[in-house]
Amino acid sequence: MKIIDAHIHLSYIGSFEHTAKHLSHIDYSVEGLYKEMNENNVVLGIGMGLREMEGGEGFPDSLPPTPMGLDMVKGNDPKIVYCPGVNPYRLGKKELSQLEKELLKPEAVGIKIYLGYYPFYAYDKVYEPVYEIAKGFDVPVVFHTGDTYSERGLLKYAHPLTLDEVAVRHRDVTFVMAHFGDPWMLDAAEVVYKNRNMFADLSGLIVGDRKEVNRITNTPHFFDHLKHAVAFCDHYEKFMFGTDWPLVQMEPYIKFIQDHFPSSSWDDLFYHTATNVFSKIKPFLHR
């Protein structure tokens, strides 16, 4: 089975480097990513653009310019594409123009907005020009939703219910709810179920190595909310596999997701839905 990992990172972020070394026990490098991809038949990784600046606050950092890319990747890579990241503090005319120029690149396949890490709701007017750009370039907008991987994040801005207003207001833009709004998955399921232009990825639900994935998987009731929400949504074709690499090892996480979805959904979940949502990736899959 061919797999697309719809949510990875390849940026020099201190907290990611610490997690890779001490929790997930991953070689956080392009070479380390390729090794895991090759071992698990992952044919493409979709990176989420992000940066920390020297002298900044650390992730979430208010200093990086829009667009944010994958600063660990040098040049074009046949197995890695990305969604340029948006810093809402840096969204003037110059930055918006740069975002448009970035999306002219074949490997720029969407736009990433970090709700919760930056204190703006998805429906804040600061993001309206971004949605217009997404519409014009026919690329999806990916939102961080749910728990933030930083104590400095503010959860109210990342609640999945806040995406409903944006999905209704911009019916001709495709949106992706990263992390399926965890832990508010039932609210997330309603927003995905209700709105034809809203999808979800399943990345980042566990942080750690194989031992940690097994521990959490076997903890009674830990993921009852996932089972409930997926059943309630009742649209398996609206979900995409993702890891949030380097936060978790690929092989045990693939099995974890498989255990929570029927095998009849796997072709869509692990491959086809991503090719439909991120339509610009199709040429990369035939190289």
The answer for residues whose C-beta is within 8 angstroms of residue 255's C-beta and 6 or more apart is: 213
Residue 192 has pLDDT above 70, yes or no: yes
For residue 287, the model assigns a pLDDT of 65
Token pair, residue 121, equals 């709701």
**Residue 214: CB atoms within 10 Å:** 15
For residue 213, the model assigns a pLDDT of 98
For residue 74, the model assigns a pLDDT of 87
Q: Which domain holds residue 203?
A: 3-286
Report the CATH number that the domain containing residue 91 is assigned in CATH. 3.20.20.140
- Give the phi and the psi of residue 6 in degrees, each rounded to 5: -85, 10
- Tally the domains of the chain: 1
Residue 257 has pLDDT above 80, yes or no: yes
Mean pLDDT to the nearest integer, 243-257: 98
For residue 286, the model assigns a pLDDT of 78
pLDDT in tens, 198-217: 999 999 999 999 999 999 99
Query: What gap in Å lies between CA 142 and CA 128, rounded to an integer?
Result: 14
Contact (CB, 8 A) for 59 and 14: yes
- The pLDDT-based confidence of 225 (bands split at 50, 70, 90) is very high
Of 61-75, 119-133, 174-188, 247-261, which gets the smallest average pLDDT? 61-75
Mean pLDDT to the nearest integer, 15-33: 97
Q: What's the chain look like in SS3? A: CCEEEEEECCCCCHHHHHHHHHCCCCCCCHHHHHHHHHHCCEEEEEEECECCCCCCCCCCCCCCCCCECECCCCCCCCCEEEECEECCCCCCHHHHHHHHHHHCCCCECCEEECECCECCCCCCHHHHHHHHHHHHHCCCEEEECCCCCCCCCCHHHHCHHHHHHHHHHCCCCCEEEEHHHCCCHHHHHHHHHHCCCEEEECCCCCCECHHHHHHHHCCCCCCHHHHHHHHHHCCHHHEECCCCECCECHHHHHHHHHHHCCHHHHHHHHHHHHHHHCHHHHHHHHC
Mean pLDDT estimate for the chain: 96
For residue 13, the model assigns a pLDDT of 95
Mean pLDDT to the nearest integer, 127-153: 97
- Report the alpha-carbon angle 261-178-125, nearest 5: 145
Mean pLDDT to the nearest integer, 161-177: 98
Q: Is this model's pTM higher than 0.85 or not? A: yes
For residue 169, the model assigns a pLDDT of 98
pLDDT in tens, 27-73: 999 999 999 999 999 999 999 999 999 888 888 999 999 999 999 99
Token pair, residue 249, equals 């090892």
